[in-house]
Structure 1
Amino acid sequence: MKNLSLKTKITIHAALVFLLLMLLGTFVARSYFHQQLRASVEDQLFTTVSLLADELNKKVNNIKTVAHEVAGNVTPQLLANPREARAYLEQQFRLMKIFAERMTLFTVDGEMVATTHDKPGPLNLDRFYHIYLQKTAVTGAPFFSEPVTASPEINRPLVVLTIPIFGPEKELIGVFAGSIDLLNDNILGFLSNAKLGQTGFFQLFTQNRTMIVHPDPSRIMLEAGTKGDDPLFDRAIGGFEGTGETLTGQGQRVLAGFKRLPGTNWILAATFPVSEALAPVKTALRLALIVLSCGWGICVSLMWIAMRHLIKPILSLTRQLRDLAVHPKRQKRVAVSAHDETVELAESINNLMEELEKRETDLARHQELFQILADWSTNWIFWESPAGEILYVSPAASRISGYPPGELRKQGQHFNALVHPEDRALWKKHCHEVVGGVKTSPLDIRILTKTGEICWLSHSCQPVLGENGKILGIRGSLADISERKVIEEQLRFLSTRDGLTGLYSRGFFNDELDRISKGRVFPVTLMMADLDGLKKINDTLGHATGDHVIRQAARLLQKTFRTDDVVARIGGDEFAVLMPGVDETAAVKILQRFRRLEAEHNREMKGGKVAFSVGAFTAADGKSLATAMEKADARMYRDKERRKQKSRQGKKN
């Protein structure tokens, strides 16, 4: 093979490939047509069995409908007259052909009123009559029995139909009963002789595996196979409807379709041997192999002749490309002396070479510009690959994080490892959205620097996409916003806190009151507190002393209430407390504790004593919370009046 020419090698390889493709195509086509034919046969098989099942179901329903009409016309007077009752039954010509064995009218107590046959029926049939008669008499509902045999000598499937007879007041007055020979030609008998193709056939069996109809009369009313012998048959017993391939007890592979008859537990099956169903595929395969063998020999000969002319331009182009790779500056273009697609190929190669040269120039210029901008930027600029590798970090990254660029590029030390533990879940979600192509806003997060300090960064990034839309990485910028965060925190504190006491402001208190009123955390207790005597202290001792007393009062309130409670200064000497989840009983205990701590504070403090008038109200829902402040304020003023009266009485005494 080494000493053969390129033309010979191409011819041999092409011939082998062509042969393999022909064989592969043949067997693929064979497999395709095999599947298509099988699918078509299965569809037709299921369609046939479904239509036949519907037809059988219509027959059964017609029998029930006619029997219901006959039973519905039976009156109490007819049941009371056996002769008229028998004459009535004998006039039902449609039912006489169906109920070949007998039709009988019974009273509710099971006493026979009239029958169409004078002679006694088979013992088994009489026994089944009484069994199903009792069921209808007890339930008041019609009953369609399982197939039974009248006697061991008569191996024919029969069903017993019992229908309740109701009087004018809808009371049960009797029962109509009839037995049907299922193998009569006008019922199911035609199934045993029906054929599918040459060797296919139909069979009907019950869910408990009793065979009703089969081409082999000896199998009727016997068990239809043993569980485990035929998996597809077992699936049909379990409720499967459709077609599939299975193996019969005789070892024959068949296509079988199953369909249940609505309203019964009967299953109709159609069986068609696989060998007969797929015989056309084998014949077509033999013919295809003969035709392909002849065609392959002709194609190889023609290929050998044509290859001598086709290979010359390609060999010329190959030599020029080889020279171009060795001397790229000496030769910039390729050319061929041909008049076919090889000329277009050479031109495409030339265009590609020009485009690559242009892109290399642009890329070098952009890289230089980007390097200058990134190196002089105060922001931390990075480029991360889809695999998580840091491809570039700007010098500002070291200044912000404290890590040298080499450590930041390591897999275990890139930016993800620096994110503050409390912000990592938010950062992970943000990165997932970026990679998924979701447009995101700048994200403020914290990182831990090499010295362990917390640094706030504002992160903005976007995916880097190739021409085919594939993600090439993530390019981002991180700005140090630590100073801004400190200022924001100070502004936030000033906007929600009272400057003198550090308690919440009135605005924050009102916002919390509105928020809690719309929530579900109830009951909520609201307490109003007024600092007594503050005006007198300001007038006599000065505002500095008054401010000192206010701060002492604030500390007392903070000491009394929970950290979850909203303690606010809402006026000069007015305070308010929101206590979510506190009912009236708990509120009383809290107020008692407040008074105790107030007394202890005043005993310990020589100066800056505080005295509060308080009032509280417990709201059970948002509606009552809206008026809680007004009611608590009223109770606070009543407390102030009581304290004044008590003070005046003490002075008199």
Structure 2
Amino acid sequence: MPRFSLKIKLALVVFLLIGIVSTGVAGLGLMFFIKEFEASTASRQYSVVSAMAAELDDRIAAAQRELVAVAMSIPPSMAGDPDRLQHFLDSRLDLHQVFSDGTGFFSPKGILLAYAPGQSLFIGKDFSSREYFARTAASGKPYISEPFLSARGGGRLQVVFTAPVLGGDGRLVGVLGGRVELAEENFLSRLARVRVGDGGNFFLFNDQRQMIVHPDRDRLSVPLGGKGKQELLDRVIGGYEGSGEMVSPSGVAGIYSFKRLHTTGWILAAERPLSDAYEPIERARFLVISSLTILLPVALLAVWLFAGRLTAPLLMFARRVRTMGGESISFEPIPVLSRDEIGELVQAFNTMMQELSSQRRLLEREKSFAVQLLQHSALPCYVIDAEHRVIIWNKALEELTGVEAKSQVGLKEPWRAFYTEPRRVLADVVVDGALHEMADLYDCYADSELIPEGLRAEGWYRLKGRQRYLCFDAAPIRDSEGKVVAAIETLQDVTLKANTEERLRTMVAAIGESEERFRRLVELSLDGIAILVERRFVFVNPAGSEMLGCTSPDQLMGREMLEFIQRESEELFLEQVSHAEQSDTSAPWIEERLLRSDRTTVEVELGVGPFVYRGQRALQVIFRDITERRLAKARLETLAHYDSLTSLPNRVLFFDRLNHAVSEAKRYRHPLALMYLDLDCFKEINDRFGHAAGDAVLMEAGERLKECVRACDMVARMGGDEFTIILAKMAEAEDAAVVAERIIKAFASPFQVEGGEAGVGVSIGICVYPSCDSDLDGMVRFADSAMYRAKQDGKNVYRFYSPEMGRRGGGTARA
């Protein structure tokens, strides 16, 4: 009899009980349910679309009947009287409710005679070329147009319903039209709010693939995909009515149903995401999976009962393995109860655990030896792990720092032994590999000369109340994979050596008076450094020589530095020199001007201090070029006070100049005028030609305004297309009107934009001081109010401010 393993026996039972019976039956049943449910869902959704199409047909027919009834009620005698027609249309509230975007009456020649509600800019325009008018005039029958772009612009779509108005002899005397704006609320757009299920909706389109109604109004101007991109859509436009699956332009798969309207031939569609429509299928899948999940333990229980005897040794082996572990390093072998695969597994496990126990004992001995070696080392040291916790703090370090190991081990605070506030120690830097932090943490550091990847740092520290000079060495500890698992840091007290070196450095510094040593300190300085004896050059570094316009320092030797001080700065320089000579202290730094050898000037910051040069009293002069700093300051002031586009003063500088102008006007009692200007039709330029063209118009407008005023006046840009002008020191208040007329005349010339011409007017409001005596904000408000009155009076005019704003400001309004 062949020998079968436990794995084969269990696999056969599970496969026969679960794989064939449960999975096969459940899978076939689920496939049948999915097929039937998809067919039922498509049928129900098509029924809903058909009912909605019938209702929408009724709405459209009702609107058309309403328009025809009103057209029939218009007397033929009224057709030639625009005023009577306007009154008639204004009174027909029933039309306003159906055609919320308005109704109009066209003459037999297509001229729009009346329009309601409100006033239309298109009255008197010729619409005879429009399809809806031509079709109605030719057939004498009502007509519903296809969607087309509105003449108002903005990319909005509209549909026009028309009905003929016939005379007593049956001839056409006019056409009555009702307009429906598809992007606004009306009987068509309300369709977009109707939902199909939880996530579906309706939309309406025509055979030209033009969207008529859609919940997303941005889709109205976007046609459906072209022919050949969606097979189902091509079939629907070809005459198919029914349901099918399709992927939307946004990439969402859904079920779609289509029904054509009888009144217009448009196609009503319902779309519903498959995730919403087929949600019951997902629930059915979940039910099947849940059922299998319940059946699986039952089948496994049968397997358990059948294979109980086979698995008994394996279970005993697992219990013994679970009881192993802990701190014990000894291992008791597990008894072998069977000779199958489980027995072989137990034998292999026993062999492996005995080997591991032997290796563990060896590692424990090595670890104990290493710890004791560090603990009893005469070299102070500590170790931190990868989490920056202290794991070893030896006795030598306790003696050096006075900090006991029990207060450090297990914590992340080794800094407390050396510093008064939290900061990273050298071992932290090694663990994180943050070498870029060394310059911020230590004044003196370097790579270790003996330990690869090690770091060294040194410095003065206060330990146990005494100043000590310590040398730190830190190196990483890596595992077998090369990963940093810890870091060790050692310390050396080299205070005696440091004190000796410090005394030697002090002695060297005391005799470091020689000129050659001094030259090495300053020859690479970017600042100019000069030594003066009796106020004459005896030394100057290359940077100073170049700053004074000389090719070599030798050209300056023996010359007085006063020769290179500009006349306006001579007194300041002499005061600095006298202060340094008399008080034997450095004089304060002062900004001055130096004269170069070519007699050009350079802005510098200059300091003078006492110095000893070859045993003689001398002066050390340090001067730094600040030209770039002043230029940067000037650029910042320009950016803060001037408009970046037009280079005109901005709002901040405007109020400062206005305050100054008002103060002068009060002092010398002369009139002052504030003009507030706003460009007319500027938005149309932005909309038509783009913002780049608008910016060009603003710059040209600023230039024209500056040409219209005096040099003592100021033109400012307040923002957008608004400008202000301060007319100071006027002889008479009426002078402001002369300037306003000059500005309007200057703006009469068209502006050149994008290869074409554009007309831009300007509306001007004028506030005259002292008749408008107020604070600065009040004067701006008065001028702004006068400007708005100019806008209301037809634009491209100027108006003076008055409390009633009823009288004109003089002059003639000019287009």
TM-score band by shorter chain is 0.3 to 0.5
More helix by share: 1
Higher relative contact order (CA 8 A, sep 6+): 1
TM-score by length of 2: 0.33
TM-score by length of 1: 0.41
